[in-house]
Amino acid sequence: MEEIKSMWLKCWVALCAKWPGLVGAYYRFMYLPSGKRLSGKVFDYGKRCSGGLYFVQVGANDGIRNDPVFKAMMAQRWRGLRLEPQPFVFGQLARLHQSTPGIRAVQAALGPRVGTVCMYGLAFSNQRWAHGLCTMDRKILEQGLSDGSIAKAAHRHGVELPPNQEDWVKEIVVNQMDVASLMQMTGRQYVDLLVIDTEGYDLEIIYLFSRAGLWPGAILYEHVNLTAKQVRECANLLEGSGYQLHMFGANTFAERVG
């Protein structure tokens, strides 16, 4: 099954890389998102953005698998930046959008300063489930190691674990940009949508924007890897800044109202 999914993905990525307009047309005319799911919320918000939606995505990974905005982005011809710091994964993201008008893939993490930063990932697999766990916070991976969830995921995907757990985690030094350099790259003072999937670092990304006085029209973030305290803190920050929150499984869609 994994091989079939991999073959399908390669074909779809090749099609998007060469004929992005065809992929966009497919999602525009053939895909019907449910209004009760996150995809429906994203499509609806995109339709309501006059002049076309401009977005920034932090932690885009390969840009397509399990991505909450890819379909709407292609269907509605969004413009924006997709940030992914992992070198191996960024290559896939760059190929995906090599011909997509208005979309730029950027190999960088987002943080408080320009420079380099250490991230932590699984050393024994380059499969999507594995590199999707790469994080700024080593404790997130350590939790997965201690509770057995990583071992279960590896078994489910047919991956044999190294006998020594010390060989499970690798350090990855990546380029980092700050919000000022990010906004300079956009050439804008405002973004319609901020999308975040940083495996437990999502609240920090929101704080980076708030400290810079930047409040996107909507913020889509993953709350599942936040602590209960962080979930409440994030909700208080956003609701206190005029956002209305909608939860969909592991994600929260926060839209600024008024």
Q: What is the pLDDT of residues 212-246, one digit of tens each?
A: 999 999 999 999 999 999 999 999 999 999 999 99
HSE on the CB side for 201, CA within 13 Å?
22
Quote the tokens at residue 109: 């993490």
Residue 57 pLDDT > 90: yes
Tell me the CB-side half-sphere exposure of residue 135, using CA atoms within 13 A: 22
Closest by CA to 220, choosing from 120, 107, 65, 72, is 72
Per the CB < 8 A criterion, the answer to whether 46 and 220 are in contact is no
How far apart (Å, rounded) are the C-alpha atoms in residues 238 and 236? 6
In SS3 terms, 136-197 reads as CCHHHHHHHHHHCHHHHHHHHCCCCCCCCHHHCEEEEEEEEECHHHHHHHHCCCCCCEEEEC
How far apart, in whole angstroms, are the C-alpha atoms of residue 146 and residue 203? 24
Q: What is the pTM of this model?
A: 0.91
The whole-chain average pLDDT of the chain stands at 91
More confident residue, 157 or 253: 253
What average pLDDT does this structure show over 59-65? 93
Homologous superfamily of 2-114+181-256? Vaccinia Virus protein VP39 (3.40.50.150)
pLDDT tens for 93-134 read: 999 999 999 999 999 999 999 999 998 888 777 777 666 778
Pair of tokens at residue 180 = 């000022």
Is 252 strand, coil or helix?
A: strand
Residues of the chain with CATH 3.40.50.150: 2-114+181-256
Alpha carbon distance 34, 72 (integer Å): 12
Torsion angle defined by CA atoms of residues 217, 101, 132 and 59, in that order, rounded to the nearest 10 degrees: -40
Q: Are 76 and 47 in contact (CB under 8 A)?
A: yes
